[in-house]
């Protein structure tokens, strides 16, 4: 049976701060009721992952980011054809576009939880700032997935703001 929520954390555990996507999922797997959530991790998004979106009510991608001023950002995604589908690093929006193209269906409501990071060297541990940002993002994600799916999709700003206080 396909679970309604897909949490997809991607990144490389061996490359310092790039590990934050999978680490959020590790954190949540130990703390939330997974009856309605499927956890999926990989090093990067691939075209084949478009099929993992089928039958979902909500998809949340989790990844590292070197942009932004806050510990993390939570943004709504839309399908978008970009050049990333032919590169080493496919974007979530490009994956949504692949889903739409392959299935002929509108992709499920999708969001990106991006965590502010800075260092990606092979063999490094998390930087101190990424570790702090990771904890804030984990706290947010734990409260987020406890919300009704309809509230997340509707982007109820007041509810989302109330769970970002740290």
Handedness of CA 150, 95, 64, 36 (dihedral sign): positive
pLDDT of residue 156: 56
The whole-number average pLDDT for the span 23-32 is 96
Residues 77-133 have pLDDT tens digits of 999 877 655 545 789 999 999 999 999 999 999 999 999 998 888 888 899 999 999
pLDDT of residue 27: 97
Superfamily of domain 5-162 in the CATH hierarchy = HybD-like (3.40.50.1450)
Distance CA(55)–CA(29), nearest Å, equals 21
Residues 143-162 have pLDDT tens digits of 999 999 999 998 755 555 66
Whether the predicted pLDDT of 165 surpasses 80: no
Q: Say which DSSP state 120 is in.
A: -
Residues 36-72 have pLDDT tens digits of 999 999 999 999 999 999 999 999 999 999 988 899 9
Q: What pLDDT band is residue 33 in, cutting at 50, 70 and 90? A: confident
The whole-number average pLDDT for the span 28-43 is 94
Distance CA(130)–CA(95), nearest Å, equals 26
Distance CA(116)–CA(133), nearest Å, equals 6
Residues 5-14 have pLDDT tens digits of 999 999 999 9
SS3 category, 100? helix
Q: What are the sequence ranges of the domains in the chain?
A: 5-162
pLDDT of residue 166: 46
Distance CA(152)–CA(112), nearest Å, equals 12
Identify which of 38, 33, 46, 26 has the alpha carbon closest to the alpha carbon of residue 1: 38
Distance CA(135)–CA(31), nearest Å, equals 13
């Amino acid at each position: 049976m396909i679970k309604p929520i897909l949490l997809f954390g991607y990144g490389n555990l061996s490359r310092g701060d790039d590990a934050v996507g999978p680490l959020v999922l590790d954190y949540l797997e130990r703390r939330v009721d997974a009856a309605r959530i499927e956890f999926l991790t990989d090093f990067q998004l691939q075209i084949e992952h478009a099929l993992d979106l089928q039958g979902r009510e909500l998809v949340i991608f989790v990844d590292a980011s070197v942009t932004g001023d806050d510990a993390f950002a939570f943004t709504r995604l839309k399908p978008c054809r970009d050049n990333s589908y032919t590169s080493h690093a496919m974007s979530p929006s490009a994956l949504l576009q692949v889903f739409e193209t392959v299935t002929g269906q509108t992709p499920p409501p999708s969001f990106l939880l991006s965590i502010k990071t800075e260092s990606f060297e092979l063999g490094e541990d998390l930087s101190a700032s990424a570790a702090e940002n990771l904890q804030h993002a984990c706290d947010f994600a734990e409260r987020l997935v406890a919300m009704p799916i309809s509230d997340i999709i509707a982007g109820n700003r007041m509810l989302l703001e109330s769970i970002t206080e740290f």
